[in-house]
Amino acid sequence: MHRFRLGMIGVFALALFMVAAAQPPAQLVIANVRVFTGERSIERASITVADGKIVRITADAPATTGVTIDGAGKTAMPGLIDSHIHLLAGATEAETRAFIKDRLPDRLQSFLRNGVTTIKSVGDPTELIRKVQQDLRDGTLAGPRLLVVGPVFTAPGSHPAVTICSGNDWCRANLAVEVDSEQEARRHVRRLVEAGVDAIKMVYGGGNVRGIQLGKLRPDVIKGIVAEARSMGILVTAHALDEPSVLEVLAAGVSGVEHGAFGPPTSNAVAQAFKNPERSLVPTFTGMAASGLPETMQQSKLQAVAELHKAGVRIVVGTDMDSNRPEPPGSATLQEIETLVKAGLSQEAALKAATSVAARHLGLEKEIGMLEAGMGADVLLVRGNPLRNIGDLHQVDAVVQKGKVIFRREP
């Protein structure tokens, strides 16, 4: 009798499961909206989302039992990507943990409120940033998709070990990997990849900076870092601030340059090095301006990026903003996009730099950065048309993350 009853319960539960499985997933439709797919614009279409993916983009709005958002007068585009931030703040372990507990949740939400659904943090204590990343993946913490590099590779006695971390042993040990041999560099790359980082970043610079004499990674060391990372399926980017350094790290095979040279290129060698094969430049205008970079140098950097873009170099949005800045996270990303337009990029090219082009730079072009069937449903809906007026990006109407509406502005 008990077996029979248990058997019937099992059959009943299986029937419920089959009915539930047969039901289509709840849908979200953004109807009658202008669409920027990440590569091209569609003047009027409807986007259907289900199960965290984009199902279709059609001319007519399909019937749905789910949620419909009226997109009339608005523009839908992929969620924005900021490829260069510094997420954690705190000079000591105790301060960093306190920041994570007390301030980080709101900072992460601010990214979402501004339509930024993916960020890459480029220099953090491995254990702490990986815990934040896991909490975001598990849903115990709300915020954008987070990519991490852990601490950055640098020469002994170089940035950030003796600059940002000057006199702070915990900072130096957790934000910098000081290496002086290829074998040591390869070992640390393996260690970080095994710890779960998504990419590797190196600092390639030297000379006298604000009265501090900085060391510089040797060529065999940077080549070892790139080769070891590549063998493990990980991309490497390099902090470089002058033309010779940019050319040297590109020759070593990095996938992108953070910051880049300040002045216009002296020859077409720089553009050719970026294009063959294609690599990225992440100019980080916003962070440099916030750090007090003189206006003349900012203008020189604008000119440099304008010339490289005109030559066909792939430009990617990254702000270099850290969590101690007073600016709301995400708003700096919008400012960076606007600055790219000032540098001579069209509105469409600047939007690509924060969507499809940024996704390729991160190696995520099969998952995010485009609005098309099968892609992850991270969608930014803004009032107006940023393809004509880039300032309309600030008029965020709704943000969709993994198919769910996570922010909606009041009418």
Query: How do beta strands 379-383 and 321-322 pair?
Result: unpaired
Report how far residue 348's alpha carbon sits from residue 343's, in angstroms, rounded to the nearest whole number: 13
Sorting pLDDT into bands at 50, 70 and 90, what band is 25?
low
**Average model confidence (pLDDT) across the chain:** 92
pTM for this entry:
0.93
Share of the chain above pLDDT 90, in %: 83
156: phi then psi, degrees, rounded to nearest 5: -55, 130
Q: Provide CB contacts within 8 A for 410, sequence distance 6+.
A: none
Under 8 Å between Cβ of 394 and 110: no
pLDDT (tens digit per residue) in 61-109: 787 778 999 999 999 999 999 999 999 999 999 999 999 999 999 999 9
pLDDT (tens digit per residue) in 215-238: 999 999 999 999 999 999 999 999
Report how far residue 285's alpha carbon sits from residue 15's, in angstroms, rounded to the nearest whole number: 58
Strand partners, 70: 31
Report how far residue 404's alpha carbon sits from residue 50's, in angstroms, rounded to the nearest whole number: 9
pLDDT over 90 (residue 374): yes
List the domains of the chain with CATH numbers.
2-77+373-408 (2.30.40.10), 79-362 (3.20.20.140)
pLDDT over 70 (residue 114): yes
Sign of the Cα pseudo-torsion (169, 173, 175, 181, in order): positive
Under 8 Å between Cβ of 201 and 236: yes
pLDDT over 90 (residue 352): yes
pLDDT over 70 (residue 169): yes
Under 8 Å between Cβ of 383 and 392: yes
DSSP result, 95-129 = HHHHHHHHTHHHHHHHHHHTTEEEEEE-S--HHHH
- pLDDT reported for residue 407: 96
- If residue 67 lies in a helix (H) or strand (E), which one and from where to where? strand 67-70
pLDDT (tens digit per residue) in 284-319: 999 988 888 888 989 999 999 999 999 999 999 999
Sign of the Cα pseudo-torsion (342, 283, 320, 146, in order): positive
pLDDT (tens digit per residue) in 171-204: 999 999 999 999 999 999 999 999 999 999 999 9
